[in-house]
Amino acid sequence: MVKFVKKIIFKMKSYLLRTGIYLNKFSLIILSVVLLTACLQYDDGPFFSFFTRKARITNSWQLEEIENVYTGSSCDSNISMMVWTFKQDGDFWKSDNSTGEWEFLDQNTVKISYDTKTGIDSSETYDIMRLTMKQLWIIKEAPWDSLKYKYVPVK
Domain coordinates in residue numbering, the chain? 2-39, 53-153
pLDDT at 27 over 70: no
Look at 42-51, 72-81, 110-119 and tell me which has the smallest mean pLDDT. Answer: 42-51
CA distance 140 to 44: 15
pLDDT of residue 23: 57
pLDDT at 93 over 90: yes
Instruction: Supply the pTM of this predicted model.
Output: 0.68
Per DSSP (E only), the strands in the chain are 59-68, 74-75, 83-86, 91-94, 99-106, 109-114, 122-131, 136-141, 146-153
Cβ proximity of 126 and 139 under 8 Å: yes
Name the CATH topology of 53-153: Lipocalin (2.40.128)
CA distance 127 to 72: 18
pLDDT of residue 16: 64
pLDDT of residue 73: 87
